[in-house]
A and B are shown apart, each in its own frame.
Chain A
Amino acid sequence: MENLIHLDAKGLVMLLMSAVFVNNYVLQKFLGICPFLGVSKKLDQATGMSIAVIFVMMLATAVTWPIQHYLLDPHGFGYLQTIVFILVIAALVQLVEIILKKYIPSLHSALGVYLPLITTNCAVLGVTILNISSQYDFVSSLINSLGSGLGFFLAMVLFSGVRARMDGGDTPEAFKGLPITLVAASIVSVSFFGFAGVIERLFS
């Protein structure tokens, strides 16, 4: 508990920005590729999915951080992290779905099938575990999750635009469908390497 990193306001903004651009979960860490390729065909679907991911990432972090630091670590159960987090996140998403269905049906129908899909999204598990291993304190963890969610949102929206362009383009027969999508995804990913170092320089 003593070794946790505490960040000031400037540090938090920097953390947020670098989570969005430099450490983008989809394009730099290659987590959550399945929804990135699967749900990025249309802009409205991509937006719905991303908002659900932001929401679940924040919520999962808010629940798993205390579990790790107050339940697992003090009793030497740190190694149970993965299995406990999977369990808790899955239950949490189900609970959120039930609550939304009852009290905010409009939001429930807007998020639709994406909410249960996120239960098994590795980007959500990834962000909770990386928050722990990076030794962030609670506030920094939440900010990092928000940034990661926004980064996912950015990647999805950008890529749905790229795919809309590709649909209209004259793709060679052999590249139609998944091949050209994967090639485009890799090029978008390469373009994000351009952000490396930019955020640190901006704030130093």
Chain B
Amino acid sequence: MDGIIFAVVLVTAIGIICAVMLAVASKLMAVKEDERFPVIRECLPGANCGACGYPGCDGYAHALIEEEGIKTNLCVPGADAVSRKLSEVLGVAFEDVIEQVAVIKCKGDCKVTSAKMDYQGIESCKAAKLLFGGTGKCTFGCMGFGDCATVCPNDAICIENGIAHVNTRLCIGCGMCASVCPNKLISIMPDVEKMLVTCSNTEKGVITRKACSHGCIACKKCEKECPVGAITVTNNLSQIDYDKCTNCGHCAEVCPTKCIMKGDFSGIHRMDQE
């Protein structure tokens, strides 16, 4: 009986000694943080999304303090408000943030395409993708298990009719959904662009057609009809050059499968401004 008591006392004593040692050390050798750090950190939204290109809001705040010339407009979710605050604190010129929204380049819902298997595995796109390239007939399309919806910090993505939809009014443009989609279907685009190719299938037209009635069959009609030559069909998929596009909407009219659409890109920040 004595043995166990001594053992407990010994381990406790060692634990306490270690704890005291660490506590004293951390007090004595505390490294002073830059006093601007908490102020700058307070300005940032704290979503830790990584849209700025730094590991979390802390990382961006450190970079802003330590490195010269880091732009204050890198926080897309925070938009102009955060950029303005950061500019004030750091005493640099305010720069406008290009607000962005996530768009999903697939409209292959359960009405236009179907599943090729009765998938009963883990309910995640990443897991389903490992099995014969995904559950759908189209291996490029949205599988609708909602990996993107799970990571979305603002609940802007919902799954309807078997595919993901972005509610751009709620989208803060952080890009976390784009990084988890195994099919790379989600693009982060400036919230002013209007025309969108809602297909990512790079197979030949015949194969695409068999898999999904909404897909881009690379007929090149949009390429020929576009009045400003903004559309090119490369790799069996129509692509819009937004530098040239005038948002006339002619491509959407001529597209036989209606996979080019006029998108509503007005994000949360634009709504605030209006």
Contacts and interface: CB of A to CB of B under 8 A. Distances in A.
Interface string A88-132: 101100110011011101000000000000000000000000000
B11 A95 contact: no
A87 B18 contact: yes
Nearest to A80: B7
A95 B14 contact: no
Interface residues of A, number: 19
Given A98-B26, A101-B29, A80 B21 contact: no
Contacts of A77: 6-7, 10
A102 B32 CA distance: 9
B6 to A, nearest CB: 7
Given A80-B11, A84-B11, A87-B11, A95 B6 contact: no
Contacts of B1: none
Interface in B13-41: 14-15, 18-19, 21-22, 25-26, 29-31
Contacts of A83: 11
A75 B7 CA distance: 10
A95 B15 contact: no
B-side interface size class: 10 to 19
Contacts of B7: 77, 80
Contacts of B14: 84, 87-88
Contacts of A99: 25, 29
B31 A94 contact: no
Nearest to A90: B18
Interface string B244-274: 0000000000000000000000000000000
Contacts of B3: 76
B11 A91 contact: no
Nearest to B30: A102
A103 B18 CA distance: 21
A90 B25 CA distance: 15
B112 to A, nearest CB: 28
Interface string A60-82: 00000000000100011100100
10 contacts: A75-B10, A77-B6, A80-B7, A84-B14, A88-B14, A91-B21, A98-B25, A98-B29, A102-B29, A102-B30
